[in-house]
Amino acid sequence: MSRDSLSIKSRPTNFRDIKGQDDVVADILDLAREGSFPAFSIFHGPSGSGKTSSALALARLLKCNDYNFSKKTICKKCEGCQSAEGANLFHVNCAVENIRDHFVGEIRQGYKFYSNPWSCAGPRVHLYEEIHCWSKMDHAKLLKLTEMKNVQNVFIFTTTVLEQIYKPLVSRFTPFSFRSVSLENAVQVLIGAANCAGLNISEDDLWKIAEAHYPDLRSAVNLLPLFELRRRRQPDIPVRNLL
């Protein structure tokens, strides 16, 4: 069984399941439908607002030959959909990986890898999560990397603090703004996560958990398995005593 946290395991895999971001999702889908999704973009907004999920859903969309734009789902049948999950994706979490040690070399290798001929439709996606965790000098190095000409690459950076990113990098990238999710949407996310993990938690309890943690949705989702155990031990006590 996977030991990934529930917030990762229950992450939406399609735009259809990304809650409370209708405007920005419509922008992304319209651009993708026209085949004009920008080569460089920054997804910015609060933690837990769906930036990484949207980037991963876009990577799936871009390798699907027959994406269903009205249902916002991949076809699951074409060559791209049949290829390995993340086959067109180079994914770096800048909060975890440090560019200064060995990573520049790995990025170069990754870039070389993704510059090679690619049998499936669509470009390769380079996703740099939490890009503000790297220094301005690192951003300048990345800027050089993005200047390599190759139309078959899409670079997406995500950040919670746009103002901390090296300005020349920001000005090169198209900004996509994600909002804080509403409490109603937060509850929907918790219901989805509880279903995904097969947890038996009442909707009333999920509302109270969402309220207590709002807007930090990730911690609320990751608490659910433990909450269910505590609830089973103590079925009658108020939610606040179980958090």
121 touching Zn ion, by CB under 5 A: no
DSSP assignment letter at 77: -
Residue selected from 64, 133, 187, 189 as contacting Zn ion according to rule CB under 5 A:
64
Q: What span, in angstroms and rounded, lies between the C-alpha atoms of 99 and 103? A: 5
78 touching Zn ion, by CB under 5 A: yes
What is the amino acid identity at position 89?
A: L
Residue selected from 5, 27, 31, 81 as contacting Zn ion according to rule CB under 5 A:
81
Q: How far is CA 137 from CA 36, 47, 92, 96, 143, in A?
A: 30, 24, 17, 17, 10
212 touching Zn ion, by CB under 5 A: no
Span from 33-41, 58-66, 100-108, 207-215 in contact with Zn ion (CB under 5 A): 58-66
Q: What span, in angstroms and rounded, lies between the C-alpha atoms of 112 and 114? A: 5
Q: What span, in angstroms and rounded, lies between the C-alpha atoms of 171 and 43? A: 13
75 touching Zn ion, by CB under 5 A: yes
Q: What span, in angstroms and rounded, lies between the C-alpha atoms of 4 and 112? A: 29
Q: What span, in angstroms and rounded, lies between the C-alpha atoms of 185 and 1? A: 28
Provide the minimum distance between the beta carbon of 6 and Zn ion in the complex, in angstroms, as a whole number.
27
Which C-beta is closer to Zn ion: that of 68 or that of 160? Answer: 68
191 touching Zn ion, by CB under 5 A: no
Which C-beta is closer to Zn ion: that of 75 or that of 162? Answer: 75
Provide the minimum distance between the beta carbon of 65 and Zn ion in the complex, in angstroms, as a whole number.
5
Residues of this chain that interact with Zn ion (CB under 5 A) are 64, 74-75, 78, 81
